[in-house]
Amino acid sequence: MKELISNIAKALVDHPEMVVVNEVSGENSSVLKLSVAKSDIGIVIGKKGNTARAIRTLLHAAAGKTKKRYLLEIIE
């Protein structure tokens, strides 16, 4: 899942070398922390959060087979 979020974010932003995804794993869930350049935060979040919501939807769909819950946090 970490690679999925990383690839999506790198395709969206102007500075793909600044994309960092950290995973904090738990027993039944994991938190993916996405960090991008300050100038790219708006691109990743999108208008009214639509892009972030779409990324989260893809994450939940991909996580369906793993029987694990994934949360996405976008860090400024």
Residue 14: the pLDDT is: 95
Among residues of the chain, what percentage have pLDDT more than 70? 100
In tens, the pLDDT along 34-65 reads 999 999 999 999 999 999 999 999 999 999 88
CA distance 29 to 47: 28
Q: What is the pLDDT of residue 52?
A: 96
pLDDT of res. 66:
86
**Would you list the domain boundaries of the chain?**
2-68
Instruction: Kindly indicate whether the domain formed by 2-68 is annotated with CATH number 3.30.300.
Output: yes
pTM over 0.85: yes
| DSSP secondary structure code for residue 67 in this structure | T
Q: Calculate the CA 26 to chain-centre distance.
A: 17
